[in-house]
Amino acid sequence: MSSTHSIYNRLENHENGKSFDINEINTYCHENHEPLIAKYDLSQGLDKANLADRARNMWRYKEVLPIKDSDYIISLNEGYTPIHHLLALQQKYDFMHLNMKDESHNPTGSFKARGLGMAVSKANELGIKEFCIPTAGNAGSALSAYCAKGGLKAHIFMPKQTPQVFQLDCKIMGANVTLVDGNISDAGAVMRKANKENQWFDVTTLKEPFRLEGKKTMGYEIAEQNQWQLPDVIIYPTGGGTGLIGIWKAFKEMLELGWIDHIPSRMVAVQTNGCNPIVQAFNQGLMSSTPYEDPAITIANGLRVPHAFGHKLILKTLKESNGIALSVSEHDILNGLTELSQKEGLFISPEGAAVWEAAKILKASEWIKRDDKVLLLNTGSAYKYAENLYSHFL
């Protein structure tokens, strides 16, 4: 055993604080169907100076991650992605500080690597060998990769209209792939039926506690890469919401650790006009959302999520941070893709392009002020979406 010195010490239902044994395999709370949240003994303090000579990947924050024995970590060097200064767009649209954290640099081309790297590693520590997931694409690729690296088995369920490359990379990496008629929620239903006996561990977004812990490392990096001064506005493409919730969780942990002295950041959730359950709930002042009927096909596959299991946590994050939710059109997304490519040389995911379009809308309405420090999240690589883009550009 080689200890990570992790200070993970509790697992709690986010709504009622009910606690769960951290040495057992847990999913979500079966009483009220709410996610479980990992908690740490932050009061004992940690010195952030220790980070200085650690590897530049998400495991540099190991004390505030759930793995206890580093022998179980399955890593492909995920994390520590670059932050680009978008100087040309900043000048054109009269921002003073416009940056983008570029998660396309992760293994398998998206930030899903963080969440699944963490979930698979923790499950590995608890002795789990076989996994299943419903996916809009990137989560399937990431699960397949970590299972391959760890000698574990992955069962992937994805909507038929997912770009074929996702099916391809999952299969090549040795996963079982099932194509499903319908959207990601339909894929989840087919998966649960196939997994009636629960022989596979279900790593659906927030139905296990640790993908969130992987996604949270984006928040630690945002602070560390900005010399522990957080941005004023963080704009994030929201499907299942783990990234948004995770970044906010990291900020609160760092505040408790004394690594930052305040949290100025307002969190923004971006969806598409054809599937915006969080935006609708937010605009009605609700703290929970209802499943979106007939979500429209979009080139931003990761945003076609009619119902997020963590919907309450997403809405709570928006409220606590004085944030906002808004959606953009398919036309906007294509426009954003073109602009980021042509002005910044960044070929980014449609989800990331949606974020840039949202930034412009919020700037025009003055919700974002000229001198706000704005950070966009690009969650994935455009290369995996090529199939969605051919007909628009060739």
Ligand X SMILES: *Cc1c(COP(=O)(O)O)cnc(C)c1O
- Using the rule CB under 6 A, is 302 a contact of ligand X? yes
Choices 15-23, 71-79, 237-245, 291-299; region in contact with ligand X by CB under 6 A:
237-245
Site for ligand X in 360-379 (CB under 6 A): 379
For 137, the token pair is 């694409």
Q: Which of 70, 67, 63 is nearest to 48 (CA)?
A: 63
- Using the rule CB under 6 A, is 214 a contact of ligand X? no
Among 349, 353, 357, 375, binds ligand X (CB under 6 A): 349
Q: Which CB atom, from 75 or from 204, has the smaller least distance to ligand X? A: 204
Cα 322 to Cα 158, 263, 266, 282: the distances in Å are 35, 11, 5, 12
- Count of other CB atoms within 10 angstroms of residue 191: 22
Count the residues of the shown chain that bind ligand X, applying the rule CB under 6 A: 17
The CA distance from 334 to 299, in Å, is 9
The CA distance from 7 to 15, in Å, is 22
Q: What angle do CA 287, 248, 235 make, to 5 degrees?
A: 85
3-state secondary structure of 325: strand
- Using the rule CB under 6 A, is 240 a contact of ligand X? yes
Q: Which of 201, 222, 213 is nearest to 267 (CA)?
A: 222
Choices 81-89, 190-198, 238-246, 335-343; region in contact with ligand X by CB under 6 A:
238-246
- Using the rule CB under 6 A, is 79 a contact of ligand X? no
Instruction: Write b or e for each residue in 343-362: b if 16 or more Cβ atoms lie within 10 A of its Cβ, otherwise e.
Output: ebebbbbbbbbbbbbbbbeb
Among 84, 112, 207, 363, binds ligand X (CB under 6 A): 112
* Closest residue to ligand X using C-beta atoms: 302
Q: What angle do CA 144, 30, 131 make, to 5 degrees?
A: 15
Q: Which CB atom, from 110 or from 124, has the smaller least distance to ligand X? A: 110
The CA distance from 72 to 157, in Å, is 26
Among 140, 219, 239, 323, binds ligand X (CB under 6 A): 239
Contact string 123-142 vs ligand X (x = CB under 6 A): ---------------xx---
Amino acid at 96: M
Secondary structure of the chain: what % helix, strand, coil (to 5)?
45, 20, 40
Choices 39-47, 182-190, 235-243, 316-324; region in contact with ligand X by CB under 6 A:
235-243
Q: Which CB atom, from 139 or from 147, has the smaller least distance to ligand X? A: 139
Give me the least distance between CB of 262 and ligand X, in Å please: 25
Q: Which CB atom, from 46 or from 314, has the smaller least distance to ligand X? A: 314
- Using the rule CB under 6 A, is 237 a contact of ligand X? yes
Choices 21-29, 176-184, 232-240, 368-376; region in contact with ligand X by CB under 6 A:
232-240
Among 202, 253, 330, 351, binds ligand X (CB under 6 A): 351
Among 57, 75, 108, 110, binds ligand X (CB under 6 A): 110
- Count of other CB atoms within 10 angstroms of residue 146: 28
Residues near ligand X (CB under 6 A) are 110, 112, 138-139, 205, 237-243, 302, 349, 351, 379-380
